[in-house]
Amino acid sequence: MNLYNHNTTHRASVKLIRPTLIYMLLLLTVFGFSSTFAAEQLRVGIAKRNITPSSEVKNWVTGKPYRVIKDSIFVRSLVMMDSLNNTSVIISWDLVDASESATEEIRKRISEFANIPMKNILVNATHNHSAPWSPVYNQGFRGRENETWWTSRHIENINSDPHFSAWKQELVDKTLAATKEAMKSVQPASIWVGRVDASEFMNNRRPRAAKWGVEDSNTPDGYNYKHKDWNPKVLMGAATFGPMDRAMSLVSFRNKEGKNIATIFHLAIHAVAIYPYSDDISGDWPSAAASKMNRKLGGESIFLQGAAGDINPWRRGPDAVKEMASGLVDLAGLAYNYSAKISISPLQTFQRKVSLPTSDRGKGRTGLEAIEAEVQVITLGPLAIVALPGEPLTSLADEIRKNSPFPQTLVLGYSNGNGVHYVCLPDEEPYGGYEVEEGTSGSHVAGLELVETANQMLKEARADRNIKN
């Protein structure tokens, strides 16, 4: 081979080698360092603030000042950011609800500070009955029902009370402060999911009565959770059990060293263990469990309430709060130890408004033919968090999980507004009771509207994620 031909061949080889090297470097970057990238593509921070009002604030159950603070209530803020700067914020209030007005107000404040879309902020209430309902900051969300009928039964315009007005401002300020701190504290995190059977601490308060064939129900007079012989494990009158989601889901965010940063614990049980046995301010079992969980697992814990419209604690009273908190934390420790690490993909948040038709009762309360409600979906890898308004019954969550393309789907109630308050699928109506009568402002199809909207959003979120990936 002459020199000219050798040089020509060498130059051609170099031209071939350079793109090959570049391609190999790209492969190493994508695949060789993927574990490092995966560990750092999600950042998580969490913080809390004490939002306990003055004891002079009026109790919505009695209409009289609380007088005593048994234990504090909190706001907890969880911030998630991915490597594309997508950010979602999850707020938990130890309150009865997260009204449309209060949700709008805190979303505005956080959005202005953090420069993120308002739709990326989720506000969930623990449905704690031993604390106030969330305040009304602006009217026009629910027609003439500015305050819930629960509050207005005993307190005329609670928002004008000076003690409540002062707390009303503190709630927003402290929620923003917790979110600011959470954003400053973000650090790289991996995600782990575990589940454990917590059914020993819950019962469906809507047993299915026998339609025919019972000659003598053999049920004591006044038999309910206050009766001396009350035992929720035993059904009277040959009834059968209603549906119940027995799972407590644990989502833990861990740093590079494997230490816990933050824990979401999610299950569906009314926060009424101490209510109505005490008229004091309290965080009830969710706040007590969060505090104990911090000590057991490390980091900060945040409870997200599920579709608990028909689910109560297995028993009630001050002792039940302690026992339930300790028992749930022991179970959480098991779930944590056996959690599975899940994959991470870009963070997505979706929001959709749906018009929920009102019943005659709802029209009377609001003056509206339909109430505009929100369904929100946050997805991260195989994890999807679905936030529903109002007080959904168990069957709504069951239907959403059953059809979800995301294998780790958490369904929340009490989020981003009150909707039509209690809401269920049509098959609950024949069983009657408070939840489908006095407790709801929606027509029999309101629950179907929420389920269908959530299912469609999850399908679209999954398709959108596949396209991006």
For the chain, which residues make up each domain, given as ranges? Answer: 3-32, 39-206+242-468, 209-241
Beta-bridged to residue 89, according to DSSP, are 79, 121
CA distance 152 to 143: 15
Of 25-29, 65-69, 157-161, 295-299, which gets the smallest average pLDDT? 25-29
Cα–Cα nearest to 339, from 244, 257, 263: 263
Coil, strand, or helix at residue 363? helix
Please say whether the beta carbons of 429 and 436 come within 8 A: yes
Q: What is the pLDDT of residues 380-398, one digit of tens each?
A: 999 999 999 999 999 999 9
Q: What is the pLDDT at residue 469?
A: 53
pTM equals: 0.90
Q: What is the pLDDT at residue 22?
A: 43
Q: Residue 1 pLDDT > 50, yes or no?
A: no
Q: Residue 337 pLDDT > 60, yes or no?
A: yes
Q: What is the pLDDT at residue 151?
A: 85
Q: What is the pLDDT at residue 446?
A: 97
CA distance 204 to 202: 7
Q: Which amino acid is at 119?
A: K
Structure tokens at 320: 């039940």
Q: Residue 18 pLDDT > 70, yes or no?
A: no
**Which residues neighbour 93 within 8 Å (Cβ) at sequence distance 6 or greater?**
51, 75, 123, 124, 125, 126, 134, 171, 175
Q: Is the dihedral of CA 339, 384, 98, 180 positive or negative?
A: positive
CA distance 96 to 158: 15
Q: Which residues of 154-189 are buried (b: 16+ CB within 10 A; e: fewer)?
A: ebeebbebebbeebbebbbebbbbbbbbbbebbebb
Q: What is the pLDDT at residue 19?
A: 45
Over residues 341-354, mean pLDDT: 96
Cα–Cα nearest to 379, from 415, 342, 414: 342
Percent of the chain's residues with pLDDT above 70:
90
Q: What is the pLDDT of residues 243-259, one digit of tens each?
A: 999 999 999 999 999 99
Q: Residue 6 pLDDT > 80, yes or no?
A: no
